[in-house]
Chains A and B, each alone.
Chain A
């Protein structure tokens, strides 16, 4: 039993998946010890978020045989995290989540290396994200998901037939929980819907009418939102409310209590105040565990091909009984974030005005009155007059110059589409390629202008 050569290896169970062929495996599966070693050597995974999901994800991925992990999170540990973010201890309160989580998993699982990043996701260069094979998301906001999604999709390139180039694809696995509910999804940009294709899935945040808050509060949340949204500005003028500042939270709580007394409303507590103001939903450790486990397994399946991946959206609902469902969502073919865009081939001498004229005749666009934007720079705006005036001088300049002499890049245009005698306003993504620049002339640009 103690003989090192016969002692079962830690990957014994994993080996059953990775070393043997099977009927249910993914399309390209090459079982063997080489695969097991390659997963260790070549797969680099970024975990975004080191909270409830992130802690579980790091543990699960480390135990699934991945050895190159990195984790990014901007938060510090709070006492209220400790019931479920099991990598943290009381003495860790106040320390960066990413750093403590990385350290704890490395202590427990030998051979794994986890690099922590204690910063905002926007603080990293875009190229930072391109270093990873797979990005796994354990986030709690739509905004952060949308950002990572747009970054991951920005690496995606299409060939001249509008097929995604696999080598540029950055797979994402996204987990999310809210109380007893959760989801896990696999995003293969260019092949399965990206986050933006299905953003309509997310219900809008509940917002109370301001006048109800001001005039006729009916519950504790109304009193808290009154203190937070109306009373704060009234008293503190221009000073911004900071939900992470205990003094600010305390002030809002006290004002909410006064308000509740005035209207005879029960139930304002400090923790409810935090909950309402920071929009906190009760988190349940087991939901996080279920969703993270699904995400970690999908990550393993994407990387190794040992089984087909989830296609493509799993919902878990433990509210009344238990319900699990997998839905295959479809891509938005015109998605501005993951779609190919319409390929347009141009000479470097084409002016912006000429480009706008071309869009009107382009068979796939038939777009008139185009406004053009390139990487956050508005090259031409049809309206309002103040912007039209500011951008008009660009019309006579070559587009190539306006795009910073990039040989190929994405531009976005809005305008009126004239199809089948119908005029509809639309927003389109275009892949502009300039002809006659060294190196890119060999491509056949069928479907271009």
Chain B
């Protein structure tokens, strides 16, 4: 390709003073794929999405889930999503911003959902993840917990689990831990 390189080098010298145009933002393939995911979102009524940085930053957003059945009925739970430029090669990073008494979400907001870590596949999308999170509230799972105490209560005494969840959502202590109101 030496001939091309030569031509180009000479062109460059000629064009040295000409303006090269303003530098433009690069859109990664990951951003484009995310754009597709977002523009095709089909969320249940109980889920809403918001973009704190405006319409042009889709890589960081929040999803609010208001479960319409089960233990968490009436609560409002906010999740933050951080999407990498190599999405969907990598799963989005999801954290629960609302402190919640839940066997699969710890008090720091880490979420145990298989498709966010070990079972993530590039064919999955943002819609699947949101449905997965929604599912955690309708069917909390006491096997493989993140919040050990909550899981034990759910397994051994569902009635007490239910009242603990109500107390936490209304704003109050469960054991030593204080939960802010989220209803």
Contact = CB atoms under 8 A, between A and B. Distances in A.
A377 B35 CA distance: 10
A43 to B, nearest CB: 6
Interface residues of A, number: 68
A210 B112 contact: yes
Contact of A378 (B6, B35, B41): B35
A371 B106 CA distance: 37
B5 A375 contact: no
B36 A427 contact: yes
Interface string A308-322: 000000000000000
B2 A381 contact: no
Interface in B87-116: 89-91, 104, 106-112, 114
Contacts of A377: 56
A337 to B, nearest CB: 6
A72 interface: no
B92 to A, nearest CB: 13
A44 B85 CA distance: 29
Interface stretch (B42-50, B67-75, B156-164, B166-174): B42-50
B38 A384 contact: yes
A305 B1 contact: yes
A379 to B, nearest CB: 10
B175 interface: no
B135 interface: no
B25 A215 contact: no
Tier of interface size on chain B:
35 or more
A381 B23 contact: no
A24 interface: no
B178 interface: no
Contacts of B84: 143
B86 interface: yes
B94 to A, nearest CB: 11
A211 B89 contact: no
Contacts of A212: 144
Contacts of A169: 1, 4
Interface in A399-442: 412, 414-415, 425, 427
Interface of B: 1-9, 12, 20, 23-33, 35-36, 38-43, 48-51, 54-56, 58, 84-86, 89-91, 104, 106-112, 114, 117-118, 120-122, 144-146, 148
24 contacts: A39-B2, A42-B5, A126-B24, A127-B20, A143-B85, A146-B29, A147-B85, A167-B8, A207-B117, A209-B112, A211-B112, A214-B148, A233-B109, A305-B1, A371-B35, A373-B35, A381-B39, A383-B39, A384-B43, A384-B49, A386-B50, A387-B55, A414-B36, A414-B40
Which 3 pairs, one residue from A and one from B, show the smallest C-beta to C-beta distance? A211-B144, A371-B39, A414-B36
